[in-house]
Amino acid sequence: MESSAPRVLVVDDEDNISFLVGSALRLQGYRVECAATGAEALAAAAVLDPQVVVLDIQLPDIDGYEVLRRLRASGSRASVLFLTARGATGDRVRGLTEGGDDYLVKPFALEELIARVQVALRRVAPAPATSRFQVAGLVLDADAHRVWRDGREATLSTTEFKLLHCLMANAGRVVTRGQILDKVWQYDFGGESAIIESFISSLRKKVDADGERLIHTVRGVGYCVREP
C-alpha cells in the first residue's frame, strides 16, 4: 500500500463488520487498520494518524463517545463517522453534538458507507486560502482552528467550528439549512432541523452568551452571522 493512500481506522467489536468494512475500503485503495476496543483504537490512532475513523458507539471497554473525546484531546483532526445500531433521532443528534461528523445506522449498505468515507476524506482536505474571518467582536482563524469573542477564546467542538466557519465565511448572507447540511456534514440527513438547531444553540451559548447576538435565525430559511 502506498504511503500516500488515505488512512482509515475502523473500530468495531463485531469481527464480521470489521472484516467486511476493512476489506471493502482496502479494495478502494485505502490504508486500513481495525480495532475491536476503545483502547486498541486509541493505540492504533497514535500510530496510523487516521484521516477518517469509522467508529462504533457500543464497545466492550469505553464507548465511542469517550474514544472520540480522547482522540480530540490528543490533537486528532480525523473526520469521525459513527457506525452504530442506535438509530433514534436523539441518538443521531447526540452523536453529532458529541463531535461526530457523520452517523450511519446498522444494518447498512456497504456502498453507502464507502460513499460516506469518500465524503469524509473531502472534509479533511486543505483549508481555503482565506483563513481569518471577523464579525464585530467574533473572530475565527481557520488555520489555527481557534475562535475568540471579545478577546476571550471560545472552545468549540470540531463540528461547531465547521458550522461557525460556514456562517462566518458567508457573513451578512443567510445560509439555508440545506446549505449547512451540505457544507458542514456534506451529506443530507433528511432535513432533520433538530440537528442544526442543536448546534446553533450550543454555538450561541459559547460565542453569543455574554455579548450582543451575532448569530441570527431567519425563520423558515436558515441562519446568518451579522453585526448587531
Cβ atoms 122, 186 nearer than 8 A: yes
Q: Assign a CATH topology to domain 132-225.
A: Arc Repressor Mutant, subunit A (1.10.10)
Residues 133-168: tens digit of each pLDDT: 999 999 999 988 999 999 899 999 988 999 999 999
More reliable by pLDDT, 8 or 222: 8
Domain ranges of the chain: 7-123, 132-225
More reliable by pLDDT, 102 or 130: 102
Q: Which residues contact 203 (CB under 8 A, 6 or more apart)?
A: 156, 160, 163, 164, 215
- The CATH superfamily label for domain 7-123 reads Response regulator (3.40.50.2300)
**Considering the chain, what percentage of its residues have pLDDT values greater than 90?**
57
Whether pLDDT at 70 is above 90:
yes
What does the H/E/C string look like for the chain? Answer: CCCCCCEEEEECCCHHHHHHHHHHHHHCCCEEEEECCHHHHHHHHHHHCCCEEEECCCCCCCCHHHHHHHHHHCCCCCEEEEEECCCCHHHHHHHHHCCCCEEEECCCCHHHHHHHHHHHHHHCCCCCCCCEEEECCEEEECCCCEEEECCEEECCCHHHHHHHHHHHCCCCCCEEHHHHHHHHHCCCCCCCHHHHHHHHHHHHHHHCCCCCCCEEEECCCEEEECCC
Chain-wide mean pLDDT for the chain?
88
Measured distance CA(187)–CA(180) in Å, rounded: 10
The sheet carrying 52-55 orders its strands as 31-35, 7-11, 52-55, 79-84, 102-105
